[in-house]
Structure formats: structure tokens, C-alpha cells
A and B are shown apart, each in its own frame.
Chain A
Amino acid sequence: MELVQAPIRKILAATGVLMLLTLPSLASAQQRLVPAQSEIAFVSKQFGVPVSGKFKKFDAEVTFDPKKVEAAKVNFNVDLLSADIGNSETEAELKKPGWFNSLKMPQANFTSNAVRALGGGKFEFSGKLSIKGITQNVVVPMTLTQSAGVTRAVGSFTLKRLDFKIGDGEWNDVSLVANEVVVNIKLALTGVTPL
């Protein structure tokens, strides 16, 4: 009996130690994005006409504690093939190599490298945005609010499409399709500690 019980006790003890070791990391576990309550939208101008769309598929790994922003990390992926402009013809065009080339490179990625707290629920996420294999530095200001355990982050930034060769070649005339594209972000996150 004792010969049997000893290993069991050891296993139990080891499990206890393991649990204790994992507890701190569980406490600071990654915050979760709720895609269904989030939105990544964009507006570009075509001959002065605002043309808006949104991405239906995206996800993120977020480690964010408002009190410890130096440890924050955001890794955001957007499926470019999921762009919804409300017009099939334009969507088909957007997938072409001159635009997103999304059949070959369907992922856009944002990886943060620095987060600054500006006070009043405002934060600035600096990082690298990669689209079509081109990486550029961007700064995304976000304003956070919390209620009922959900943290909502709203912000927008402007990117220049030609920096990423979006609309290359015959479409590079910015008087026809403006260079500036406004990206509007609304995120819902769970598991964020109070602001």
C-alpha cells in the first residue's frame, strides 16, 4: 500500500506546485477580443465620394493592463478577403494584385511595440502594420471605456494606401482614389482590469 501511495502523494504534491506556478500567469491571462461586438471599418474617397467598408473577419491576441502599459502587447490580424464594401464588383476588384492581393496575402497584421497611457482612458498604440508584405509604423490612438465587465476601445487612424502599394499601377492617381484611408476601430474586450 505504502509503495503505491508514495508516488500518488508525490504526484499530488507536484500538481499542487504546478497549479501554484500557473496561478500568477492565469491572473494576468490575455484579455479577450469579442469579435461579434467589434468592428474594423474604413473609408476611402473615390473622386470625392466617400466609399466605406468593413472587415468581417479579424482576431487579436491582447495582453493589456491599463496600469502596466509597458507590458502591453497587441497582435491583431485582419482577413483582407473578408472586406465588405456592399458591392460585389468593387470587392472582386479589391482582391486583385494591384489592390490587396488578398488571394495571395490575405492577412494584414498589426503588432504593437509600445503603448502609452495619456490619461482619461486614452491610450496610444504604436506598432507595425503589415499589408501586402509591406510594413509601416503606425500610431493608433484609442479611447477606452468600461461597463459590465466589457472594455470598449474606440479609435481611428489614417493610413496612406500607396505606402502599402494598395491601388498600385493604373490606380496610383490620388486625385481619383485618395491616398488617405481612414480606419475606424471599435473593439470589445473582456478580462481587462479596471482603468
Chain B
Amino acid sequence: MSPRYDRVAIAFHWLMAVMITASFAVGLYMVSLTMSPTRIKLYNWHKWAGVTILTLAALRLLWRLRHAPPPLPPTMPQWQTKVANVAHLLLYVLFFAVPLTGWAYSSAAGFPIVWFGWIPLPDFVPKDRELAEFLKPWHWMAAYALAAVVAVHILAVVKHLLMDDDNLMSRMLPNMTGDK
């Protein structure tokens, strides 16, 4: 059996996978709504989730810097290893870029974030109409870029599962059998 990611890395991966997917879906839905109490709630939940994802990303990065991931199978062609590394790097960059652009946009639009309706977060950009208009597409683009890299990531998983038959995905699956 190939070397596995450690349990903490696995927990970070799946927790963030669920949260990012949910936030992306809520984000797409909420912008289609006209102004309503529901829309305001969704925007706030989306922001809370975004700040949570940002926090998880920071913790996950710290963990990863101290716990090297298991090496990729030596059977993989070098170009694929390179693509995988670049894709993982991009994922980490976007884990930060998407929430940070969203946070900045929210502040610029005059809605400071109060995490879980409880912890007021600082505005690192001023309330500014033009700045808000400038930042809005960057949040969108970053989110779509993240979705695109996640799509590549999933296609690679499918490729390894169906074409390479190297059971690479098991490295990131929770160990259900209880084996060490």
C-alpha cells in the first residue's frame, strides 16, 4: 500500500472540500437573488464560511509545511508530477485569494464582516464605492479559478482511478479499516 497522508491532513482536506463546495454553491445562488432577508442571511453565511475557510487554509498550510505529503508514485511521468505540484500550489494560493478578495470586497462595499455574527473583523481596505466595484470581479475570477483547478484535481483523481489503477486516492481517504 502506498504511503498515506496523515490524519490531520486528511481532515483538513475533506473539511475544506465540503466547505468550499458549499460556499461556491451558495455564492452562485445568492447573487441570483433580488434583495430579501434570505439573501442577506445567505451573504452573511457565505462570508462566515469564507473566513472559516481562510482560517483552515492558514492552519493547513502551517501543518503542511511541517508534515511533508507522501511522495507521488515513481511510476508517474515527470510532466504529470509537475502538473500535480503546480495544481496543488495553485489550490493553496486560491484558498487564500478567494476569501481575501471576498473580505476586501465586503469591506469596500460598506459591510464589515462579523464572524458568526459574533466577532467583528477589521477592514483591511476602506469603504469605497469604486474600490468595491474594482474588487468584485476579482473575487469572482478567483472563485472560478479555484473551481477550475478543483475540476482538474478531480479529473486527475478519476484518471488515476480508471486509467492508472494506482489507487492514489486511498492516500487521502479516511482509514475506515482502522489499520495503521
Chain A 158-182 interface 0/1 with B at a Cβ cutoff of 8 Å (1 = within)? 0000000000001101001100000
The total number of A-B Cβ pairs within 8 Å is: 48
Which residue of A47, A52, A170, A176 contacts B114 across the interface (Cβ within 8 Å)?
A47
Chain A contact surface mostly: mixed
Q: When the two chains form their complex, are residues A85 and B37 in contact, meaning their CB atoms are under 8 A apart?
A: no
A71 within 8 A of B: no
Kindly identify, within residues 85 to 129 of chain A, every residue whose CB is under 8 Å from any CB belonging to chain B: 85-90, 93
Determine how close the nearest CB of chain A comes to the CB of B124; give it in whole angstroms: 16
B113 within 8 A of A: yes
A46–B106 alpha-carbon span in the complex (Å): 13
Q: Which of B110, B128, B129 has the most CB of A within 10 A?
A: B110
Q: How large is the interface on B (under 10, 10 to 19, 20 to 34, 35 or more residues)?
A: 10 to 19
11 A-B contact pairs sorted by A residue (CB < 8 Å): A46-B40, A46-B111, A47-B44, A48-B117, A49-B111, A49-B112, A49-B117, A86-B129, A87-B111, A170-B37, A176-B40
Determine how close the nearest CB of chain A comes to the CB of B113; give it in whole angstroms: 7
B132 within 8 A of A: yes
Q: Given known contacts A49-B117, A170-B37, what 11 new A-B pairs fall within 8 Å (CB)?
A: A47-B41, A48-B118, A49-B111, A49-B114, A53-B110, A87-B110, A89-B35, A93-B35, A170-B36, A171-B37, A177-B40
Q: When the two chains form their complex, are residues A51 and B35 in contact, meaning their CB atoms are under 8 A apart?
A: no
A interface with B by C-beta (< 8 Å): 46-53, 85-90, 93, 170-171, 173, 176-177
Instruction: Report chain A residues within 8 Å CB of B132.
Output: 86-87
Q: When the two chains form their complex, are residues A176 and B41 in contact, meaning their CB atoms are under 8 A apart?
A: yes
Closest chain A residue, CB of each to CB of B126: A86
Instruction: Report chain B residues within 8 Å CB of A50.
Output: 112, 120
Which residue of A49, A85, A171 contacts B113 across the interface (Cβ within 8 Å)?
A49
A171–B36 alpha-carbon span in the complex (Å): 8
Which residue of B41, B110, B118 contacts A51 across the interface (Cβ within 8 Å)?
B110
B160 within 8 A of A: no
Chain B 52-78 interface 0/1 with A at a Cβ cutoff of 8 Å (1 = within)? 000000000000000000000000000
